[in-house]
Amino acid sequence: MTPATAQTARPAAPAAIIDGTAFATSLRQRVAFEVARIKNQQGLTPGLAVVLVGDDPASAVYVRNKGTQTRAAGMASFEHRLPSNADAETLLALVRQLNDDPSVHGILVQLPLPGHIDSDLVINAIDPAKDVDGFHILNVGLLGTGQKAMVPCTPLGCIMLLKDQLGSLAGLNAVVVGRSNIVGKPMAQLLLRESCTVTIAHSRSRDLPAICRNADILIAAVGRPEMIGADWIKPGAVVIDVGINRAERDGRSRLVGDVDFAAVSQVAGAITPVPGGVGPMTIACLLANTLTACCRIHGLPDPAIAV
Ligand code: GUN
């Protein structure tokens, strides 16, 4: 654990690498343990339904991984595919069918949806109790007002990694670069809940490097490959890189984050790599949310894995 006071001195050594793969593995094991327990004690099997519209290859890979990991945790996995020209009413009818299905405790509609479908309409048609993405306006409002909500998976994973690294986050300056509904905004709400002083910055913020240099905790979620350089970083800061971008390097395509990892790791106190940082946490948190949804729907206490 790094005390907050240690964060103003330039670190003598390169940043600690925050191992999201290891943390996610341990979280999935804890979820699987709790799933086995409620199966034995309550006769309940948590179920996750994932809906994919169209044939975007990256989305198809994510959906396949979600199914594999859901089954590996002992939960039921339901996969629904609709063609890219499916109309909104067909998708809404499927969502309503899943809302009414007692074997389904979590519903995830993979985003982005084809342009002719209004994603807000679809998200808000999901039963908020089964909204394991935490994107329904009711869950957004509950999180924003400090009430019990379903919390979006990627920000939830980031908070788990931060608390594991730092212990208490209270009083720290947190800067979130990015203002999406999926990551930036819920991330800011969660950091506020941890008593951070929170700044939301974005691509149009003035003097972004100066804003970032004030951060004890920097969350990069802008979707621009290696945009954040070493001179944007307060020495000793904890840097969480949410970006997953494809970049050409030396004639080869590889995954990079929003942070220039090689340079920033010489200045930061701790940093998540890409791949192997935040990415694996997202699906692990989706499994955790599905278990939590199942417990809440059946009036059981929240599982011990929640933060
Ligand atoms: N597409 C990219 N990330 C996400 C996510 O967290 N949830 C959903 N539903 N779609 C996504």
Which pLDDT tens digit goes with each residue over 17-32?
999 999 999 999 999 9
Q: What is the pLDDT of residues 245-263, one digit of tens each?
A: 999 888 999 999 999 999 9
Confidence check: pLDDT of 3 > 60: no
Mean pLDDT over 135-149 rounds to: 97
Going by pLDDT thresholds of 50, 70 and 90, the confidence category of residue 277 is: very high
Mean pLDDT over 58-87 rounds to: 97
**Longest alpha-carbon distance in the chain:** 59
CATH 3.40.50.720 location in the chain: 152-279
**CATH architecture designation of domain 43-127:** 3-Layer(aba) Sandwich (3.40)
Ligand 1 contacts CB of residue 109 (under 6 A): yes
In terms of Cα–Cα distance, which of 287, 294, 290, 292 is closest to 304? 292
To the query of whether residue 133 is one of the catalytic residues in this protein, the response is yes
Q: What distance in angstroms lies between residue 6's CA and the mean position of ligand 1's atoms?
A: 35
Mean pLDDT over 275-288 rounds to: 98
Domain 152-279 class? Answer: alpha beta
Mean pLDDT over 136-155 rounds to: 98
SS3 237: coil
CATH 3.40.50.10860 location in the chain: 43-127
Q: Which of 7, 110, 165, 189 is catalytic?
A: 110
Residue of the nearest CA to atom 2 in ligand 1? 111
Ligand 1 contacts CB of residue 110 (under 6 A): yes
In terms of Cα–Cα distance, which of 142, 215, 161, 218 is closest to 184? 218
Which backbone phi and psi does 101 adopt, to 5 degrees?
-85, 115
Confidence check: pLDDT of 111 > 80: yes
